[in-house]
Structure 1
């Protein structure tokens, strides 16, 4: 299995930073408003990307078990952090912190790294783990974020309007009845994953283009970094060691789970915050800082975790 080194991360990192820079230029020089872009991502680009990934991945009960497990773990983490954060943060900040706690940049950043580190079967396992995190973002995570500004009824109504859940069910139906979408349709949908990455990262830059000094909240940023690069790696390693103690865990699945635990904060933190109007500037700063830290932290964290797990 390929070992991790800083050079492995530089390609995805520089690509993402370039997209962030384009977003910053669009906001500063062209006065582009990121809010319609966030709406476009949530209600159109993300569902189609999710649907395509599931159909191409060929969901099986074992793969869907991984998706369900990661969805459950992410949801529980977010619920616990939300309860704790309400004691020390304002409602909007607590909601944003809870949302970010349950997710990570497993798609925009993690998938390119997985393609380098894992064999094809391992990449498929990683994809279905990442899909569980994405499903959390647009269900439980979106609800917790909405609760920072809306009532329970309003928050549930907003989730009911999210098409990603229906895209998930449609993909399961298509795969379950063994319907093969026309090849021309799947080729047409191939542009959406790249669009999802580009617009998702550009939104961070667009938001940063409107940040002022007073938006810098070191306490909030510190909490985000501690959860993402402190709590999640420990949890991922403990989960792998626990599974290894119960039965022979394939190395590629173990590494896929460890990688989920060390990716930076999710760009969708900013996308959802922008859509709901809950402190997107603070979320953008935290996402940028964790992304910039990845070349230094991930090789150390993932390398050490792989040694402990015997990979």
Structure 2
């Protein structure tokens, strides 16, 4: 399997273009990003995940990928939270903990996966993505809220996350063998595109409100290290470990590796905005890792495919 940097360039630049559109929308049209953040969390993300689960067919093998991604993301976030508490302020530690367990696997990674992977590979990627999304709106959301709210308030806010219930409903319907009517499937088909578009635009909208006072070099460097040092290493070790246990398809390997090289999650900004914890600081860190993505993603993937013997 070989990765063509040229093939990746167009979708990567398009995603950056969406960030620019968000900046223009906020600057010229005076659009407030906060209602859009709420819309993403409470409407668009749950419908996107529900559709993906119903279309993918939640068999035990796929669900094991979801569970594994959730466990890895949660353990990383808990470890970073513990380390960051003594080195950063409460808000910064909460954002670092949240971001360490996730990446822009949906808004950014999914369009890239559609370019690189076969339909089977995209399904594998989606079920890994689901595990990370479940982390974001359970463990990740709780850790972020704990930087600003009490334990009780944090649990209540987490319990209000509709993505948890969309995930459970999809699993139940899949287990019962229920299929969605064609008309409903067509109606849900608009949500993945809206998920990517609005998720990237909200970064630009938040950046339009950023001042130089929000720049925190230490925080940004920590975010870059988490995304482009820790996560690539974890994903590479995961593939190498799986290869020692059983044969791993190229699609499976590339899906796991792609999870490790996407930029910082745009949901860092979405969740920070929802909870009121330094969204401008988070947006700057997201922007830096996103700008690095067109350069680093092809290089990382080509290098890791060689190391795993799949190139």
**TM-score relative to the length of structure 1:** 0.97
* Pairing 1:104–2:103 present: yes
What is the deviation of 1:116? 2.2
1:184 corresponding residue in structure 2: 183
Asked whether the equivalents of residues 106 and 263 of structure 1 are also in contact (C-alpha less than 8 Å), the reply is yes
Partner residue in 2 for 1:81: 80
Contact 2:48 2:192 in 1 (8 A): yes
Q: After superposition, what is the alpha-carbon deviation per residue over 1:160-215, rounded to whole angstroms, capped at 9, x for unaligned?
A: 11100000011011111111121111111111111111111111111100000111
Paired residues, number: 310
Measure the CA separation in 2 of the matches of 1:278 and 1:146.
9
How far is the alpha carbon of 1:27 from its aligned partner? 1.5
Matched, 1:242 2:231: no
Give how far 1:95 is off: 0.3
Give 1:309 deviation, angstroms.
0.3
TM-score, with structure 2 as normaliser = 0.97
Cα distance in 1 between the residues matched to 2:91 and 2:273: 12
Give distance in 1, aligned partners of 2:176 and 2:308.
39
Corresponding position of 1:206:
205
Equivalent residue for 2:278? 279
Runs of 4+ more than 2 Å apart: none
Aligned to 2:145: 146
Report the Cα distance in structure 2 between the residues aligned to 1:290 and 1:66, rounded to whole angstroms. Answer: 26
- Gapped runs of 5+ residues in structure 2? none
Residue 121 of structure 1: aligned partner: 120
Counterpart Cα distance in 2 of 1:294 and 1:41: 23
Name structure 1 gaps, 5 residues minimum: none
Measure how far apart 1:120 and its partner are. 1.8
Contact 1:95 1:147 in 2 (8 A): yes
On the 8 A contact 2:12/2:112 being kept in 1, the answer is no
Aligned residue in 2 for 1:291: 290
**Structure 1 segment 1-311 matched on structure 2, within 5 A:** 1=1, 3-311=2-310
